[in-house]
Amino acid sequence: MSAKSETGPPVAPQNERNVNALFRAMHTATAAESDAQARLDTLTRVIAGHIVADVCSIYIRRPGDFFELYASEGLKPEAVHVTRLHMSEGLVGHVARRQEPLVTAEAPLHPDFVYRPETGEEKLHSFLGVPLIRAAKVLGVLVLQNKVPRIYTDEEIGAALAVAGLLAEIAASGELLGKEETATVSEVLRLPDRLVGTPVVSGVAFGRAVLHDAPLAHHKSFAADKGAELERLEDGLQSVRKSVDDLLADEGLSGVSREVLEAYRLFAYDRGWKERLRTHVFAGLTAEAAVERVKAENRARLSQARDPYLRERLHDLDDLSHRLLRHLSGEAEARPRALTEPSIIVAHSMGPADLLEYDRSFVKGLVLVEASEVSHAAIVARALEIPMVSGADGALERIFDGDRVAIDGEAGEINIRPTDDVFEAYRVRRELQSKRQAQFAAERDLPTVTRDGVEVELYMNAGLAIDMPHLETTGAKGVGLFRTELQFLIGDQLPRPAAQEKLYAGILKDAGGRPVVFRTADLGGDKAAAYMRGAAEGNPAMGWRGLRLSVDRPGLMRPQLRALLAAAAPGELNIMFPMVTLVSEIEAARALLDREIALRRRRGRPLPERIRVGAMIETPAAAWRAGEIARAVDFVSIGGNDLAQFYFAADRESPAMQRRYDPINAGFLAFLQTVIERVAETGRPLTYCGEQAADPLMATALIGIGVRRFSLPATAVGWFRRLVRGLDAGLFSEWLTTELAANRRDLRDAVRARLEHLGAPLPEGR
């Protein structure tokens, strides 16, 4: 897209050249004007001339959601500052309300058209209106009109959008309007706002927003001296490159991926990036504005990409832009920012190390634009009990650094600059939550036995050393599922056997004699480590993952088994295999284990005194043969997350599928019941470790169909114990059996009603 020359102006495609020429003209015209009104008048003239419109008008948002005609080329001058349209009126209101362009060849025929005689627009036919949007708020409307009924071309619409984008930017910066209007604009930008994202870690949190990559102090959009600006850009690029080179030169490079940095370095030296930046500076933008513009272009292009690799690239490019902006502004890169008050960290995406670098006592919540429930940031946030919401599109545009923000990680709500009432409601909710947590902690040693004497054992899920203190605080009996793959995912390379052994030994030590079930690395599928990217699979969830991958790659599994044997010796070792499909896979894995045991014995190394092997039932094939699978091992665990995904044929990673099929479904529960019965016949113990059990209604339904042992997220253990203690399992089970036989459709509501009837203590809001 750009020329090779380092000295002459780079060459951009025709339409981009046109827009750049227009920007240049806008710059020249406005630079000459010191008065805000004169600036606006000149701008409308320049824009009308470039887009060949008979009329170009700029409407600016005023208090009370009115849009006032501030400048016009082509409408009667006496209409300026007289014509005002409310957000609910006219085509201008239409554009503002919908926040999207409106194109029509016959404006008077449009149902929203209103005629204002003072404008003299009766002779006008075609209309192109574009909103001036900033932080998801409409600050004004740019209108182009022509006397002939014509359809504006895509190129013209694109140019109008680009101009409107720039106008919004400079309106917000105070470079376009007078003092009073700028004040209104900032007021509009700071109205309370609300976003709903995906709940990831529950809990209510509030504090001041800290933008992880905070926008820098305001910069000008147009440059006064192009030559000087090009020099600044060059200097900025040089220092960014040097900073990345310096990072790479660091021998220690602990915790930071060399491989990732190498890739990052390539971007820093990318000629295409540099040329695009130069193109914009040649067009008259400041270096900072050019960086923002290229960043927006990249974002538009790459955010559509489905390929996760390309999306990751986007994060790198964003990060690089931020670095460049920091260098341009001369701000030293003090990272992480020191927090001084309760804060909500807001970022596009974030690695676990970044999050851990902040002072934990001040990190109260996390808002990410892009992160799944199994993302590394989510895993760390969950372990640290930091409420988190993801999928918050627009968060970075709508939340300003320092804004008051309240989030509810259970509902996925993000309240930006909430009113005092909303803030107070959140404070009360938070207080209740802390009280409840304190109560749960006080109950942690109470037996988990139902009213009718049925014992339900509660274990917790874990995956990192930082999860382990929860054993003590929740009173869980042990770790029912330790996801060893997290260590593989967080690092930038395959963890060395010594590092694996160290982690496992530490976990067993922290468990203080309580049992820990180590699941061998469940890699592949959505949990592909960056360093082991293989051939792309159309359906990775059903691809080369879990036990399949492990038995095909003994080089991966054997060192892990070795590390587990060494860490657990001479105590007890519980190993569990994920994603089992056939008994033969268990046999293959067992053979690898036996080889490792024999090897240790031959070498005279100590062995665990007891080794128990388990299998996860996560595929319909294993569920159908649950008895046979159970006989091949010492214990089994139902991985409800995967099993439900395959039962309903609904991708657990797909946001569209996430809440589509309720696991409290007569078919699914009856299916699970069969598995439970088949396993019970073998006498092998069974645990349920899918996250669905963290839903109290599902948890009760599972107890109802005979599950007696659970492994849950630590945050669920407290209320689960209380629920168990308040339940009459016999009565509930009897009722549920009849309902399952009747194949009830609205089972969730029925379960809720039944529990209320039985007086079971359901956590609030469920």
Q: Where does this chain bind ligand PEP (CB under 6 A)?
A: 481, 483, 522, 618, 639-642, 689-690
- Quote the CA–CA distance of 581 and 584 in Å, as a whole number: 9
CB-wise, 96 or 517, nearer to ligand PEP?
Answer: 517
56 is catalytic: no
Q: Choose the one of ligand PEP, Mg ion, none that binds residue 640, judging by a C-beta under 5 to 8 angstroms depending on kind.
A: ligand PEP
> Between the CA of residue 176 and those of 190, 287, 349, what are the distances in Å?
19, 19, 33
CA 505 and chain centroid, separation: 33
Judged by CB under 5 A, does residue 485 bind Mg ion? no
> Which of 27, 94, 348, 689 is labelled catalytic?
689
Q: Cβ of residue 639: shortest distance to Mg ion, in angstroms? A: 4
CB-wise, 131 or 696, nearer to ligand PEP?
Answer: 696
Contacts of 17 (CB under 8 A, 6+ apart): 11
Q: What value does the CA radius of gyration of the chain take, rounded to a whole number of Å? A: 31
Structure tokens at 755: 């529990």
**Consecutive H or E run containing 416:** strand 413-416
Q: Cβ of residue 689: shortest distance to ligand PEP, in angstroms? A: 5
- Greatest pairwise CA separation for the chain in angstroms: 99
Q: Cβ of residue 289: shortest distance to Mg ion, in angstroms? A: 47
CB-wise, 274 or 483, nearer to ligand PEP?
Answer: 483
CB-wise, 483 or 684, nearer to ligand PEP?
Answer: 483
CB-wise, 260 or 556, nearer to ligand PEP?
Answer: 556
Span near Mg ion by CB under 5 A; candidates 63-71, 414-422, 453-461, 641-649: 641-649
Residues in the interface with Mg ion (CB under 5 A) total 3
Contacts of 555 (CB under 8 A, 6+ apart): none
CB-wise, 73 or 618, nearer to ligand PEP?
Answer: 618
Q: Contact letters (x/-) for Mg ion, 592-621, by CB under 5 A?
A: --------------------------x---
Give all strands (DSSP E) within 621-729, no chain letters.
635-638, 686-688, 709-712
DSSP 132-195: EEETTEEEEEEEEEESS--PPPHHHHHHHHHHHHHHHHHHHHTSSS-HHHHHHHHHHHTS-EEE
CB-wise, 193 or 618, nearer to Mg ion?
Answer: 618
Planar angle of CA 668, 671, 672, nearest 5 degrees: 90
SS3 of 648-663:
CCCCCCCCCCCCCCCC
- Quote the CA–CA distance of 631 and 583 in Å, as a whole number: 9
Q: Choose the one of Mg ion, ligand PEP, none that binds residue 566, judging by a C-beta under 5 to 8 angstroms depending on kind.
A: none
Q: Cβ of residue 247: shortest distance to Mg ion, in angstroms? A: 36
Q: Choose the one of ligand PEP, Mg ion, none that binds residue 463, judging by a C-beta under 5 to 8 angstroms depending on kind.
A: none
Q: What values do phi and psi take at 146, rounded to 5? A: -135, 155
- Quote the CA–CA distance of 384 and 359 in Å, as a whole number: 12
Q: Cβ of residue 377: shortest distance to ligand PEP, in angstroms? A: 17
- Among 245, 260, 316, smallest CA distance to 531 is for 260
Q: What values do phi and psi take at 290, rounded to 5? A: -65, -40
Q: Cβ of residue 631: shortest distance to ligand PEP, in angstroms? A: 22
Q: Which of 90, 525, 639, 696 binds Mg ion (CB under 5 A)?
A: 639
Q: Which of 642, 691, 695, 739 binds Mg ion (CB under 5 A)?
A: 642
Q: Cβ of residue 309: shortest distance to ligand PEP, in angstroms? A: 22
> Between the CA of residue 554 and those of 217, 589, 612, what are the distances in Å?
54, 9, 20
> Which of 212, 280, 376, 470 is labelled catalytic?
376
Q: Are 631 and 587 spatial neighbours (Cβ–Cβ below 8 Å)? A: no
Q: Choose the one of ligand PEP, Mg ion, none that binds residue 690, judging by a C-beta under 5 to 8 angstroms depending on kind.
A: ligand PEP
Q: Choose the one of Mg ion, ligand PEP, none that binds residue 181, judging by a C-beta under 5 to 8 angstroms depending on kind.
A: none
CB-wise, 70 or 710, nearer to Mg ion?
Answer: 710
Active site (catalytic) residues: 376, 689
Question: Which residues of the chain form contacts with Mg ion (CB under 5 A)?
Answer: 618, 639, 642
